[in-house]
Structure formats: C-alpha cells, structure tokens
Amino acid sequence: MPATPRIALVALDRPLDWLFDYRLPEAPDLQPGQRVRVPFGRGTAIGVVVELTTSSEVPSGRLRTIQEVLDREPLLDPRLLELLQFGARYYHHPIGEALVGALPPALRHGAPLPALTPETLWRLTAPGREALDGHTVRGRRQQAVLRALEHAGADAALDRATLAAATGLQLAPRELRGLAERGWLEATTPDPEHPLPPTSSDHVLTPEQRNAVAALDPDHPTPLLLQGVTGSGKTEVYLQMAERVLAQHRQVLFLIPEIALTPQLSARIQQRFPGQVALLHSGLAEGERLRAWEAARRGLRRIVVGTRSALFTPLPDLGLIIVDEEHDAAFKQQDGFRYNARDLAIKRGRVEGAAVVLGSATPTLETLHAATCGRYAQARLDNRPDGSHPPPVETIDTRVHPADEGLTAPLLDAMQQTLAADHQCFLLLNRRGFARVLSCDGCGWVAECPDCDARLTVHAHNPRAVCHLCGHQETRPQRCPECGEPLAQRGLGTQRLEQALARHFPTTPLIRLDRDSIRHKGALEEALERIRHLGAAIVVGTQMLAKGHDFPQVGLVGVIDVDQGLFSVDLRATENTLQLIVQAAGRAGRGSGGGRVLLQTGHPDHPLIRSLDAEQYPAMVAPLLEERAAAGMPPHGYLALVRVEAGAAEVARHHAERVAAHLLSAATDGLRVLGPAPAPRHRVNRRFREQILLQSTRRAPLHDTLGRARHAWQADELPRTIRIAIDIDPVSLA
C-alpha cells in the first residue's frame, strides 16, 4: 500500500528557482493547485501547492507546517499547472513567481473566492418598443439602451456588460432599474445550465470565409494561421468558429493584444453571445476581475476575452483559443515573467487538446514560416466581403516636397479633396507629445533626462518637460541654462501635428488619439464613437489608429514619417514598420468610394517602400525571410537576451563580463555568445544596462547553456543591487 503523503511542495511568489517543503496540517485534504498560507521568515506568505510527497530532504526539526488551506478545491487544474511549469522552465523564470502570478491579484493576497450570483439580464418590453416607435424616449442614453436591445432581436436579453459594449456607455445598474420602473425593460435571471443562444448574424459568409471556418478542426488541433487582408472579415470567421465550439459545450479563450484599444471587437463578441462573456484585463477593478475569473473557472461564462494574462484563466472545457492580431508585440511580457502569450497559447492548445487560431493581416515571420513549412495549417482571406480592395500605397518624396510641421503640399491637397467628398482623413505619427527635443540653437544645449539616456519631450499645455522612459518631469525652461538664449522646440509629435492641422482646417472636426488624450476610463470608447458618427473629419494619432478599428468613412490614410523605422539597429524594426504601414493602410477604402494611402518619406527608393502592396504581404516579407536565413536569425535560429543592470556603469560592466564568462564556459557547439555590450538604452531610471545575446540554430543548446550558466552565476552570490534578466525569443533588442 503506497505511503500517505506528508509533505507539500509549495510555490511561493519569490525570485527563487525552487519549491518549499512544508508539513501537511492534520485535517484538510490537500491537492496540487490549491492555495495555502504558510509561515515564511518572520511572517507568512501565500503559495500554491505543486506536489505532494512522502519525504523531504529538509531535516524534520526545520520543517514548518502549513498554517491554512485557503481553497476547498484546486484553483489551477493539472493541465494549467503543467503549462505554467513549462513556461517557467522555458523562459528561465522562478517557478513561484510564474504560478502565483497567474492568479488574479486579489487571490495572490489571500482573498477568498467570491460568491457568484446570476447577473440580471434585461429585455425590451412591448411598452418600451412602443415608446421607441412613438419617439417618446427623450434621453440619449435611454434611447441607446433601448435601441441596442431592439437591434439584438425579438426576446433578446442582455446583461449590463453587453449593453455597455453595444452602446459605448458606462451604464450604472440604477439606470437600467430606472428603465424597468418605467415599464420599458424587464429583468430576468439566466439559467447557468441553459445559456442564452447566440444572437443571429446578418453576415452572409463569402466562400473564403466559409472555407476558413471549415479549416477549424477541433478534433485534430493543429494551430491554424488565419491570414486575411485588412477588412476581410476575420472577426466574423472567429465568431462562427466560436459558435461551433460552444455548440459542443466547450469554452473559448479570445486573446487580444490590448483590450483598451479594441472595444469594437469586444462589443461584437458580447452582442453575439450575450451573458456568456467574461472580460479579463488589468483595467478592471480587482473585485470585478476576480468575479469574471471565477465565473470562467466554474464554467458559468463560456467565452473569455482578455489580454495576455487571460491565457492563464482556468477553463474546465477549453476547446478553442483565438489569438487576434498575433503579430502584435503586446503579447510579449517585457518585464518579470517574460512570456509570449501567443507561443504559450499554442502550448496550452496542445496540453488541453484545444484548437488554436492565429489571426492577422500581417503575421510575424515566425508564424508565416511555420505555416509555410506545414507545422501550422493555413486559411487565407484575400478579398473583402464588400468587394473593395486595400488601396495602393503612394509615396510623397519629402526631398522634393519639404514638410512644414509634418505636412507636405501633396498631402494637404489630398486631404482637401477627401474632406470635400465627405470622407475622413487618418494621419499616423507614432510619436506623442508636442516636440521631441528642447534645444538651444546658440550653444547646442539639449534638455535631457537626468536619469536616462533620453531627451525630454515637450507636451502642449504642460509647463513641464517629460521623459517617456522613466516618467521624470521637470519645469520646462524658456531660456538656455548655459547661454541664456531662447530655446527652440524641435521634432514633431501628435500634439504639434494637431495644432498645425487646426490652422490648415479650422472648421473641420479634429480628434487626436494617443495615450495622452485617453487618460480617463471610457475616453477611448467615447472618441471612437464620435469618429463613427462624424462625416468629414480628421483623426491624428499614434499606432492606436492601426489597431483593428473599422471606420467605413475613412478615405485617406497618411503616414507622416515612415523613415524612423527603416534604419533602426533593432532586428525586427523593418518587419514592425512594414506591419504598421499595412495595418494603417487597411483603415482606408472600406466603404464606397475607395481610398488613398500616402507615405511621406525621404527614401522612396528604399526596397521596403518600393515593395509595399497591402494585398501581397507574404511577397513583401520574402526578402526579410531570406536575410534572416542567411544570418541564422529567427525564424531560422533562436535568440536569448541576458541583461545585467546595476546602479553604476562600471559595476554593470564588471558583472556582465562575469555572466558572459559563465555562458562561454557552459556553451555547447553551435551556440554563439555575443557581448557584453551596452544596451541601446544604456541608462534607464538611474540604472545602467549591459546585455549579452545568445544565438543558436537549435533550441536545446541555448536552453542547456542558459540553465548551467544560470546556476553558476547564482552561486557567485551577486550583490543584491545587481539584476539579471533573461529574455527568451526577444521581440526587441533595445
């Protein structure tokens, strides 16, 4: 008869690579995946049980006992534990930080699981329909709610989140109760065992879309690349795929790069599957996020829509994972546990037996290569359902047509024509602020951040200059502190471009979309809703403009300065620039009347610029794939970046050389160790950064070398002020 386990191996949220042994308490029945409170040092800590065993190498007198078992059942099931343990190994990250960090913040702090009550659903009544038809509903918000229910179809019942998504409004429960008191709405409670059926769709699938839906095989879940030109209807394909999986009584995980940038997408999913969607992202209040997580874990919500951390949501019946805009760098965590949610989604699909769909108009080179080699299945959407085509990309040579505050004469003429036709102009400039540089023409002094290798940015209506790396702010001087001459504001940001456009088009509605303009909750939704209801208008913004928004009134897209991405030292700069241009170009020409895409560049003969064709993305990136193959770079090779940080440059350099020596000593054949060298951003927030690049044609030597070297440098007992970070498959070398 097997021995009864007496020891629990517990993962704690500490930067350590091992599990901690604790003696089991007397009464509770404990299982892997449950949270426990344990004594740690002079206090206590919250941990996750990973394994139960019969013995420990820790002497019995030093073993401490678990203080409290916090959950009646495991929160992380065996498959999710397997995924997280794999992720910790693959990304060379402490196991406890990975496991505990996968839980919602409230659970990490020891909060109990919430008691869930069915959320009220709201249905339009006959008096409410009569009030709409008789135009007796006066309030704009009331009209929006009633119209949303009317549009959802007869007898449709929607929850508050779905109504908020459908109307673009932040709806308080009292507003809906007020409409019910007037007899225009009635409240109902959903039956968890019988979820509401999906609302009907008025979309008729094209043959390409039907083939794409048919390409999904939930029983043989090979990852599927869904590549479609912008505006080709990928979202409707996703929804049809989700409907198939839901009909099998399984769950769907829908990952999007940034939830704040995709309200249009989340609204469509909520409207299509009312009462079945849980939203998960860092913008939610802790309690709201925890309730959504628990509803998904218990199977009460069949669809989870969220950003990268939603990947770790426990889903007992997972059948489909959709990664929308899979090329987006936001899927890669840039600090702490540096995982790529797209890649771990593929691993989770294998572990859970779930289908995985990767969607994009501009897939990464790694994903394209995997599809070409047959490791992924592939479905293509080369046409838009309305028969329109992405407009051709035209260039404006800024050597011939100099730009005045970012605007050339041909671009201004094209904008005049577009606005006269009652269409909208979208102008993309991926630099926020007013001016990038505050400098003196007399002596050459430049305002720089005292804590970073960065120049301070000037913002309109802000008396302080700001560092976009560390957030440092200081009073903006009017005169040079060296020679006393007036200071000049150089460089172009979205605020300065907005000001210039207001002078050229004083009577045209003008909207700016960047991080500075959407600071408060709901600001982005309000701006997007305003754009949809405007005719002729100008929208200026950063890469937010290229994030999957569908605006049929856009007749012109102008990229103000494309050159900054053409000559960067970063490995992926050219690929990212190409993706940004193609995604931005896809905003134009979706409605009737076609559209134009104008790129302002001082290098119109650059091979990338000359190859631009929004409908032929694979052909455009073929030369990049050839370059990567010749250099042994991804997807034809594998990279890892080791970064060493310290408060002094010489200390960072010294310890980086020690780390590099360990790597060279552990290196196997076929592995190159490059560096150390100062990071492109050498000083950030008063810390100096050195980095070492590992390059290999195979994964195994890279991971074996890192594992052995990591044990060696940890044995060195480095000073506590030294930080060493490992980035596997980095998306940026900056």
Angle at 628 between CA 626 and CA 630, to 5 degrees: 70
At 21, which CATH number?
Answer: 3.40.1440.60
pLDDT for res 234: 93
pLDDT for res 138: 81
Domain membership flag for residue 95: yes
Q: Average pLDDT in the 392-411 region?
A: 94
Domain membership flag for residue 466: no
pLDDT score of 259 more than 80: no
Q: Are 74 and 29 in contact (CB under 8 A)?
A: no
Extract the tokens encoding 712. Answer: 């060696």
Instruction: State the burial class of residue 253 (Cβ atoms within 10 Å of its Cβ: 0-12, 13-18, 19+).
Output: buried
Q: Average pLDDT in the 487-513 region?
A: 93
Neighbours of 173 (CB within 10 A): 9
Three-state SS annotation for 624-644: HHHHHHHHCCCCCCEEEEEEE
Report the C-alpha gap between 171 and 525 in whole angstroms. 13
pLDDT score of 388 more than 80: no
Q: How confident is the model at residue 483 (pLDDT cuts 50, 70, 90)?
A: very high
Q: Determine which helix (DSSP H) or strand (DSSP E) holds 8, and give its type and residue range.
A: strand 7-12
What one-letter code names the amino acid at 111? A
At 279, which CATH number?
Answer: 3.40.50.300
Q: How confident is the model at residue 544 (pLDDT cuts 50, 70, 90)?
A: confident
Q: Which residues contact 723 (CB under 8 A, 6 or more apart)?
A: 644, 645, 646, 687
Extract the tokens encoding 154. Answer: 């007869």
Domain membership flag for residue 291: yes
What one-letter code names the amino acid at 434? F
Q: Which residue has the higher pLDDT, 143 or 266?
A: 143
Closest CA to 638 of 683, 580, 699: 699
Torsions phi, psi for 569 (to 5 deg) = -80, -10
pLDDT digits (tens, 9 = 90+) for 606-625: 888 888 776 688 888 888 99
Residues 600 and 571 in one domain: yes
Q: Are 539 and 427 in contact (CB under 8 A)?
A: yes
Q: Are 101 and 13 in contact (CB under 8 A)?
A: yes
Domain membership flag for residue 447: no
pLDDT score of 711 more than 60: yes
Q: Which residue has the higher pLDDT, 198 or 76?
A: 76
Residues 333 and 225 in one domain: yes
Residues 409 and 552 in one domain: yes
Instruction: State the burial class of residue 470 (Cβ atoms within 10 Å of its Cβ: 0-12, 13-18, 19+).
Output: middle
Residues 28 and 85 in one domain: yes
Residue written as tokens 């919500």?
A: 301
**Least confident segment among 39-48, 113-122, 324-333:** 113-122
The tally of domains found in the chain comes to: 5
Angle at 48 between CA 45 and CA 49, to 5 degrees: 120
pLDDT for res 463: 87
Residues 419 and 555 in one domain: yes
Distances 230 to 42, 222, 616 between C-alpha atoms, Å: 57, 24, 12
Residues 213 and 288 in one domain: yes
pLDDT for res 189: 79
pLDDT for res 488: 93
pLDDT for res 125: 94
Report the C-alpha gap between 140 and 147 in whole angstroms. 10
Residues 148 and 222 in one domain: no
pLDDT for res 397: 95
pLDDT for res 163: 82
Cα dihedral 393, 268, 544, 322, rounded to 10, equals: -80
Q: Average pLDDT in the 710-732 region?
A: 91
Domain termination site, one of 629, 660, 685? 629
Domain membership flag for residue 197: no
Q: Average pLDDT in the 149-163 region?
A: 77
pLDDT for res 615: 66
Residues 625 and 643 in one domain: no
Instruction: Give me the count of residues in the chain.
Output: 734
Domain termination site, one of 188, 218, 241? 188
Neighbours of 649 (CB within 10 A): 15
The fraction of the chain above a pLDDT of 70, given in percent, is: 94
Domain termination site, one of 612, 629, 646? 629
Q: How confident is the model at residue 522 (pLDDT cuts 50, 70, 90)?
A: low
For residue 335, how far is the Cα from the chain centroid?
14
Report the C-alpha gap between 586 and 545 in whole angstroms. 10
Distances 325 to 154, 256, 284, 579 between C-alpha atoms, Å: 34, 7, 22, 11
Q: How confident is the model at residue 317 (pLDDT cuts 50, 70, 90)?
A: very high
Residues 660 and 694 in one domain: yes
Q: Average pLDDT in the 635-646 region?
A: 96
pLDDT for res 636: 95
Report the C-alpha gap between 11 and 573 in whole angstroms. 38
Q: Average pLDDT in the 253-266 region?
A: 79
pLDDT digits (tens, 9 = 90+) for 458-481: 998 888 899 999 999 999 999 999
Q: From start to end of 68-139, where are the E strands?
A: 68-69, 121-124
Q: Average pLDDT in the 288-315 region?
A: 94
Domain membership flag for residue 457: no
Residues 165 and 272 in one domain: no
Q: Are 131 and 137 in contact (CB under 8 A)?
A: yes
Q: Average pLDDT in the 212-238 region?
A: 90
SS3 355: strand
Q: Average pLDDT in the 95-115 region?
A: 95
Distances 147 to 143, 168, 180, 271, 277 between C-alpha atoms, Å: 6, 12, 15, 13, 21
Q: From start to end of 480-602, where are the E strands?
A: 488-490, 510-513, 537-541, 554-559, 596-601
pLDDT for res 432: 86
Report the C-alpha gap between 543 and 286 in whole angstroms. 29
pLDDT for res 11: 98
Closest CA to 581 of 432, 435, 429: 429
pLDDT score of 353 more than 70: yes
Q: Average pLDDT in the 577-604 region?
A: 82
Domain membership flag for residue 386: no
Residue written as tokens 């899979």?
A: 326
Q: Are 733 and 571 in contact (CB under 8 A)?
A: yes
Domain membership flag for residue 480: no
Residues 134 and 88 in one domain: no
Extract the tokens encoding 423. Answer: 């269409």
Domain of residue 363 covers 207-381
Pairing between strand 157-159 and 537-541?
Answer: unpaired
Torsions phi, psi for 195 (to 5 deg) = -65, 155
pLDDT for res 591: 61
Residues 401 and 510 in one domain: yes
Torsions phi, psi for 355 (to 5 deg) = -75, 150
